[in-house]
Structure 1
Amino acid sequence: MIGRLRGTLLQKSPPWLMLEVGGVGYELEAPMSTFYDLPDLGREVVLFTHYAVKEDSVALYGFLTERERRLFRDVQKVSGIGARIALAILSGVSVEEFARLVAASDVAALTRIPGIGKKTAERIVVELRDRAAELGGVGSPVARGQPIPADPASEAVIALQQLGYKPAEAAKMARDAFEAGDSAEAVIRKALKAALKA
């Protein structure tokens, strides 16, 4: 079981990143909540990890905080939710906001997160409402940075598609959110916030 990695950030292209630890490059999938606070390439970062083994695949997920990892694990205990939707939840809302939506039984807001339909949102509320106050546990970011990729708008479109939005929808979201000087992470954050309020 791999629970934590400390190493040099080699690549980041949402939702994927690569971390070099002792000469080995670990490829991890991470939510946008983690990407927002990653340091620049070549810098050291510590990630909490979740190692998942299935019949036909092995996956490693990375998180800047223990709180994110715990929420990622907790929501997958809800029937019908897998890693893809768990990542979409963390990419669409903060741990605190998710806990607030669950506590308030705000099914409508939960359905604005890609991959979550009304029935899934209702299951989330029913199965997690009693634990809303403890959702996510405790943790804080271990590293911060503001990388500016070469083409942030295009990178944001790709990331939004990987989060479950259709190509045309992702392109419109990124276009509406983009402002000169924005990083891809900033565009994605604004696009997801706008989608949640729609």
Structure 2
Amino acid sequence: MRGTVWENYPNRLVVDVGGIGYEVMVPLTSIDRLHPVEGMPIDLRVYHHQRENGQTLYGFATDEERDVFVLLIDRVSGIGPAIAMAILSGMAAGRFKACVAHAEIAELSRIKGLGKKTAERIVLELKDKVGVAETWKEVEAGAVLPAAADAELALVALGYKQVDARKAVKKILESQPGATTEELVRGALRSMA
């Protein structure tokens, strides 16, 4: 959605698009990134949510934020738009994905309105969807060796949990720093059996 900011409130904006004002709910992380001011041109990634009793527009500064929002409301049972917005207001989308991929329940539980049980359910239901993308981001950043990432993802493809696969690969790398992907997979399979 491209338009001009008509009104600016803490968690929502009214955006003028061709003379029509659209109310858009926006997480605090997006507000912080955009710094909207009345009269300013704005470009939002929008999700249109329809219910029996109404429609709501949710706007985000980035595609990643919108994708996390949709993932939460579509893939996690018991998570609706209000909780998804609270999550994105309490934590950047990239950090959220890293917390899910590494099963950081305690950090997720610190988000206002998100208890330990809900955080555990989010990790359980999303870690395989979020973890693969996070692994490749870590490779690009130089935090994870490509051979380790390949081994980890091969173990996930074989049905192992990503958290367990990562621990097993890390343990092998401690004793064999220059191990190939094949050696890492074989060693991890032996240790996980």
Report TM bin, short chain.
Answer: 0.5 to 0.7
TM-score (norm 2): 0.65
1:46 aligns with 2:43: yes
Q: Distance in 2 between matches of 1:81 and 1:115?
A: 11
Measured after TM superposition, the shift of residue 15 of structure 1 is 0.9
1:17 aligns with 2:16: no
TM-score (norm 1): 0.63
Q: Letter of the 1:55 partner, please give it.
A: E
Q: Distance in 2 between matches of 1:47 and 1:128?
A: 25
1:25-174 correspondence runs (5 A): 25-38=21-34, 39-76=36-73, 77-133=75-131
Gapped runs of 5+ residues in structure 2? 135-193
Measured after TM superposition, the shift of residue 40 of structure 1 is 2.4
Q: Letter of the 1:89 partner, please give it.
A: I
Aligned to 2:2: 6
Q: Distance in 2 between matches of 1:18 and 1:92?
A: 22
Measured after TM superposition, the shift of residue 135 of structure 1 is 6.5
Measured after TM superposition, the shift of residue 109 of structure 1 is 1.1
Structure number having the greater helix percentage? 2
Secondary structure, counterpart of 2:113 in structure 1: coil
- Give deviations 1:135-154, integer Å, cap 9, x for gaps: 69xxxxxxxxxxxxxxxxxx
Measured after TM superposition, the shift of residue 130 of structure 1 is 1.1
Secondary structure, counterpart of 2:39 in structure 1: coil
Q: Distance in 2 between matches of 1:134 and 1:23?
A: 43
Measured after TM superposition, the shift of residue 134 of structure 1 is 5.7
* 8 Å Cα contact 1:7/1:46 also seen in 2: yes
Relative CO higher for 1 or 2, CA cutoff 8 Å, sep ≥ 6?
Answer: 1
Q: Letter of the 2:93 partner, please give it.
A: V
Q: Distance in 2 between matches of 1:135 and 1:67?
A: 12
* 8 Å Cα contact 1:9/1:41 also seen in 2: yes
Q: Distance in 2 between matches of 1:51 and 1:109?
A: 29
CA root-mean-square deviation = 1.5
* 8 Å Cα contact 1:6/1:21 also seen in 2: yes
